[in-house]
Amino acid sequence: MTPRSPDAGDVVRARAVTMSYGGVDVLHGIDLDIRRGEVFALLGPNGAGKTTTVEILEGFRRRSAGEVQVLGADPEHGDDAWRARIGLVLQSWRDHRRWQVGELLTHFASYYPDPRDPAALLSLVGLAEQAGQQVERLSGGQRRRLDVALGIVGRPELLFLDEPTTGFDPQARYDFHTLVERLAGEEGVTVLLTTHDLAEAERLADRIAMLVGGRIRACGTPAELARRAAARAEVRWTADDGTARHERTADPSRLVWELHRQAEGPIPGLEVRRPTLEDTYLHMVRREADGAESAVPEEATAV
């Protein structure tokens, strides 16, 4: 699906990364492999360690232990050449408010060896008309798109997106998703996305890791994760007497077939609901909340 460049390899490789603040463990041995050209989503509730993990990979935080390679270097010792290959879009940026949009993008382009053309980039993110406008006069969505433009102006090989579409209206979200797909699909940019939005992760990500309680509880394609849900498929239909019925089953196809045979015809209100990513996610989060003491979960080291 995603074209891989010939030097396909791991852009991010983390082994047994731990992090503790003042004796409290926040990460309990994270393993991650993110391949070149892939969109990788990190999902998890607040406080699960998402931000800490990403900041370790960005080189903004020192891990307590473990091994990390990002674009072939340890982020703790990443130099300017390494920085130039990484793009960052954070949700809390409110900087350079007095600058004009075009001026700011042109200025930041000048720090990189092979930048994108600022004017073309503004069109790409839909801000061509705002080029002469002051940054502080942009709307929230426009501001975030400018952040995205600043994040990719240096043609990064790896792009970090931190909850990029929070506060976007549906159209802006759609446009943003199209842009990310284009970056990954056409230009082979590797994207690490953190998000709360399961639909966003499902739509954009080639693979998803679920981080709960400082451990990666599951990792795989959206379809794999959905299947992994202990939850069974749910079949709903309306019985002959007009009452709504529903049943959970591991084999919904068989149940539907049996229903059809019994009814000898169409079944009113028939609906099959496959387990979704959300089911898996909620299952993981609840299990963590219920029994954090069950120390060794079976999926802890799934990569």
Based on CB atoms, which residue is closest to other proteins, 81 or 223? Answer: 81
Output the smallest distance, CB 163 to other proteins, in A.
10
Is 55 near other proteins (CB under 8 A)? yes
Is 189 near other proteins (CB under 8 A)? no
Contacts of 82 (CB under 8 A, 6+ apart): 70, 71, 73, 75
CB 179, CB 124: distance < 8 Å: yes
Which residue bears the tokens 């529903």? 246
What character string, x for contact with other proteins (CB under 8 A) and - otherwise, covers 233-252?
--------------------
Which residue bears the tokens 């009814």? 263
Residue in 7, 110, 114, 266 binding other proteins, rule: CB under 8 A = 110
- Residue 246: half-sphere exposure toward Cβ, Cα within 13 Å: 9
Tokens of 170: 């549906």
CB 125, CB 71: distance < 8 Å: no
Output the smallest distance, CB 79 to other proteins, in A.
8
Q: Near other proteins by CB under 8 A, which window of 58-66, 195-203, 252-260, 283-291?
A: 58-66
Based on CB atoms, which residue is closest to other proteins, 164 or 275? Answer: 164
Tokens of 109: 């382009």
Is 92 near other proteins (CB under 8 A)? yes
Based on CB atoms, which residue is closest to other proteins, 147 or 197? Answer: 147
Site size toward other proteins (CB under 8 A) is 32
Nearest in space to 58 (alpha carbons), one of 38, 28, 26, 83: 83
Residue in 31, 58, 206, 288 binding other proteins, rule: CB under 8 A = 58
CB 18, CB 27: distance < 8 Å: yes
Specify the pairing of strand 158-162 against strand 190-195. Answer: parallel
Of 23-52, binders to other proteins (CB under 8 A) are 51-52
Of 139-158, binders to other proteins (CB under 8 A) are 150, 154
3-state DSSP call for residue 167?
Answer: coil
Output the smallest distance, CB 90 to other proteins, in A.
4
- Count CB-CB contacts under 10 A for residue 22: 4
Output the smallest distance, CB 162 to other proteins, in A.
6
Strands, E assignment, the chain: 10-21, 24-35, 39-43, 65-70, 86-89, 158-162, 190-195, 207-212, 215-220, 233-238, 244-249, 271-273
Is 137 near other proteins (CB under 8 A)? no
Nearest in space to 154 (alpha carbons), one of 121, 114, 118: 114
Is 232 near other proteins (CB under 8 A)? no
Residue in 98, 250, 265, 296 binding other proteins, rule: CB under 8 A = 98
Binding site for other proteins (CB under 8 A): 51-52, 54-55, 58, 60-61, 80-81, 83-84, 86, 88, 90-99, 103, 107-108, 110-112, 150, 154, 162
